[in-house]
Structure 1
Amino acid sequence: MNTPTSPELTDTDIAGLVQSDRVDVSLYTDPEQFELEMDRIFDRTWVWVAHESEIPNAGDFRTAMVGRQPVIVTRDRRGGINVLLNRCRHRGASLCEVPRGNANGFTCPYHAWSYALDGKLRGIPYPDGYEDVLEKKDLPLHRLKVDSYAGMIFASVNHDVEPLSDFLGPAKRWIDLFMKQGAGYPIKVQGEHKFRFNGNWKIQLENTTDGYHFPIVHRSWMSSVDEETADMLSFMTDEKALTHSLGNGHSVMIMVPEHVDLDEDDGTEQLQERFGHIVEELSKEFDPAKVRRIVRSMHGAGFNLNLFPNVAMSMSFFRVLRPVSVTETEIRHLALGLDGAPEVVNRERLRIHEHFQGPFGFGTTDDSEAWDRVQRGAAAGPGLPIMVNRGLGRERDESKGRVSHATDETGMREAYTMWKAMMTDVR
């Protein structure tokens, strides 16, 4: 039985789905829109694929996805970073099925065509059948355009994409601030876990700068932590807790204003008692100022930075989304540590991460349940819009973008403005 298809969407149709205060629920449910998103967004702009700490040495690699296209991110023998389609040029088989490792190159398991770390075709078994038919130099692995900023590696299928620096724009300042949680050490990825939820990718995209949900969805986590941590994240009525739109779909939500720039410290903030054992251990090696700098960074930066379309730099971890289908999304949470810091520091940061984001943590389960419910609810009342109007009346324009309270939906409106622009070429 053939499934009926909807009429082809026009740019005018799509433009009408996003208003200043609401979006059409079909953005969560329409398979045709999802296909257009893969083409017009994920195949045309910069997509985050890895952090440089994941591939520090020659031969290191990790696999990733750019939209629905599997890629291998490699560090070659000259130190260059390459993002290669995970697809043999012969018959299309995937070359690598492990998430990370170190290799001299990649060999196809089907016919053993072998490739160098930079994608060059190195060898073909039984080459006599290819005489006067094939030149190895003509069939390297397909390379994506690649660039990085502050250790964040981005790739694009579109080789005519705007420069990464222009795409990030004002978000670069916030990336720099985020990296200050290293307290003088480079940031490194300590580990990751991934899961899927039954919902559209934009439901998660909205979440990172949605301060409105935090004390509601995460009240069980708030009740499980010490009073000092709970007070630190009680930003609902803090006038300094703000959300900024940063252009190109990016936004930032400030939850702990005094930790926006971790290099700034007036000395009045009391270090949390829960970190007393860390203070004691670090004091054996470092002066009080260094100890204080590290301990103030234990929870990460005081904000969540959302980089359109697929990565969030969320206080002390990276959250990476991958659209699987219109109603399914994969999430990866990458715990961050300090490269070269004493082990006690990174061990404690992992415990903090696990408490909120790990498979047995509070945050992951609470968030994913909420996201699932949004998708289930989207099937009811198909004519009812999704509202993103919180804070419109108090949002103000500043030189660096629009600003409102951390509980307002400024970040969502910024993301959907970019979505509309990329889906229709209309700003």
Structure 2
Amino acid sequence: MTTEFTAETIYDLPAADLVQEDRVAGRMYTDPALFDEEQSKIFESTWVWVAHESELPKAGSFKSTFVGKHPVIITKDRKGNINTLINRCRHRGASVCEKPKGEVNGFTCPYHAWSYALDGKLRGIPYPDGYEGVMEKSEMSLKKLRTESYGGMIFATYKDDIESLEDFLGDVKPWIDLFFKQGAGYPVKVLGKHRFKFNGNWKIQLENTTDGYHFPIVHRSWMASVDEETANMMEFMTDEKCITHDLGNGHSVMQMVPAHSDLDKVDPDEPLQARFNHVVAELREQGVDEAQIRRLILAMHGTGFNLNLFPNVSMSISFLRVLRPLNVGQTEIEHVALGPDGPENITGPVNRERLRIHEHFQGPFGFGTPDDSEGWDRVQRGSQASPEMPIMVNRGMAREVTSEEGWTTSHVTDETGLRAAYRQWKKMMSDD
């Protein structure tokens, strides 16, 4: 049963009551206390994506990032293990690393030079005689988070007693496998990334990835800027084959180009886009066989779907989009470009073209990201007007069906993915 939120009661309601099946309260975007509660009950209580394995190619490789509001370092140690370490010296709390990535033998605090190994163990203290009989060095390692990976995607969690990563991902796993087929037989690697901030709550972006309803409206300028073949590929608004699935645990997938969901099963008669003729010519000059050329070119745009993983990462057609909540009204987004990791004479021309495609839509001067960001900013500004007024997520409720896999499914323009995310939010924010 749907109840109305009121200005008199909206701040008296517990968090879980702010989510109903067809709507959520605008307070969810604007309440600082609620934001703090989310950091504890969601970002410190579930699996959070932190890195792709290609970012840690060898022993000593590291990447700095965040789990919720907490700075962490992802490392590959000498045994090949991946570690997620809290970026906080055990002595007086200073950060031990300020670089975004690199290769090191360990980490040394700049304040008092306590030094740590790649697995976080405390290995050195200047003038250690002052600690004799006071402290055991073995008990002062950097705090380490539980870390697991699937399909090259690395996740960390503060909770040692929650389900395994594979159980948390559940029905998402085969979609991750499909997503990385865009390597065209090669592993996939990170080509580059850029970060930006928008003035809005993190959930506004979480909603966006499997919201097909906005695409032809917000991205009109992008549609007008590309060739006809690419524009036609994204004409999914009235195609009944284009659908969204609720995959459980807040995850969802939106199939915009179903024929490219599995790149190994693309119609063998589908022509290659003429816009890539120059790449085809360069690959032929390198002696690449025609079957491999076709595979590489068909994967140029990535896969035909957006995969949303609750709470912080989406695998969006050909790139990763990572969100980091900064405060109740500001979010940082990182766009991560991907491409095949193979011989330079083969993957070099392909990856240069993939970067140009990425820049054209996702880049800071692209046609997609600025338009999305404007929409997100406007939602935040509007929601401040009356935080009791609902945000509607009811599109397509009456036409949802259950797929043969058991997934709640509806049209690609319906809000099935949004409802999936908010059901998980409600579950995690419940006091019990």
Give me the TM-score of the superposition, normalised by structure 1. 0.96
Q: Report sequence identity in percent.
A: 66
Residue 420 (structure 1) aligned to one of 409, 426, 432: 426
- Whether the 8 Å contact between 1:299 and 1:316 is mirrored in structure 2 is yes
**Cα deviation, residue 382, structure 1:** 2.6
User: Residues 88 and 9 of structure 1: is their aligned pair in 2 closer, same or farther, counting only changes over 3 Å?
Assistant: farther
CA-to-aligned-CA distance 1:319-353 (integer Å, 9 cap, x gap): 00000001010000000011014210000000000
**Cα deviation, residue 381, structure 1:** 2.6
Q: Distance in 1 between matches of 2:14 and 2:311?
A: 22
Gaps of 5+ in 2: 1-7
Residue 413 of structure 2: SS of its match in structure 1?
coil
Matches within 5 A, 1:328-339: 328-339=330-341
Q: Distance in 2 between matches of 1:133 and 1:380?
A: 56
User: Residues 114 and 8 of structure 1: is their aligned pair in 2 closer, same or farther, counting only changes over 3 Å?
Assistant: farther
Q: Distance in 1 between matches of 2:11 and 2:177?
A: 40
Matches within 5 A, 1:89-108: 89-108=90-109
User: Residues 279 and 142 of structure 1: is their aligned pair in 2 closer, same or farther, counting only changes over 3 Å?
Assistant: same
Q: Distance in 2 between matches of 1:9 and 1:423?
A: 15
- Whether the 8 Å contact between 2:47 and 2:155 is mirrored in structure 1 is yes
The equivalent residue for 2:412 is: 406
Residue 189 of structure 2: SS of its match in structure 1?
strand
Q: Distance in 2 between matches of 1:148 and 1:16?
A: 34
The equivalent residue for 1:355 is: 360
Residue 305 of structure 1: SS of its match in structure 2?
strand
Residue 44 of structure 1: SS of its match in structure 2?
coil
The equivalent residue for 1:300 is: 302
Q: Distance in 2 between matches of 1:375 and 1:9?
A: 18
Worse-matched range after superposition: 317-326 or 285-294? 285-294
The equivalent residue for 1:314 is: 316
- The one-letter amino acid paired with 1:288 is E
> Runs ≥4 in structure 1, deviation > 6 angstroms?
6-10
Residue 144 of structure 2: SS of its match in structure 1?
coil
- The one-letter amino acid paired with 1:405 is H
Q: Distance in 1 between matches of 2:382 and 2:412?
A: 25
Q: Distance in 1 between matches of 2:238 and 2:347?
A: 37
The equivalent residue for 1:53 is: 54
The equivalent residue for 2:397 is: 392
User: Residues 126 and 320 of structure 1: is their aligned pair in 2 closer, same or farther, counting only changes over 3 Å?
Assistant: same
Residue 323 (structure 1) aligned to one of 320, 325, 341: 325
Paired residues in the alignment total: 420
**Pairing 1:213–2:218 present:** no
Residue 15 of structure 1: SS of its match in structure 2?
helix
Worse-matched range after superposition: 361-370 or 278-287? 278-287
**Cα deviation, residue 48, structure 1:** 0.1
The equivalent residue for 1:380 is: 385
User: Residues 68 and 7 of structure 1: is their aligned pair in 2 closer, same or farther, counting only changes over 3 Å?
Assistant: farther
Worse-matched range after superposition: 317-326 or 393-402? 393-402
Q: Distance in 2 between matches of 1:39 and 1:249?
A: 17
User: Residues 9 and 168 of structure 1: is their aligned pair in 2 closer, same or farther, counting only changes over 3 Å?
Assistant: farther
Matches within 5 A, 1:80-119: 80-119=81-120
Worse-matched range after superposition: 303-312 or 153-162? 153-162
Residue 301 of structure 1: SS of its match in structure 2?
coil
CA-to-aligned-CA distance 1:243-294 (integer Å, 9 cap, x gap): 0000000000001111000001331211100000111122232221111111
Worse-matched range after superposition: 395-404 or 305-314? 395-404
**Cα deviation, residue 383, structure 1:** 2.4
Give me the TM-score of the superposition, normalised by structure 2. 0.95
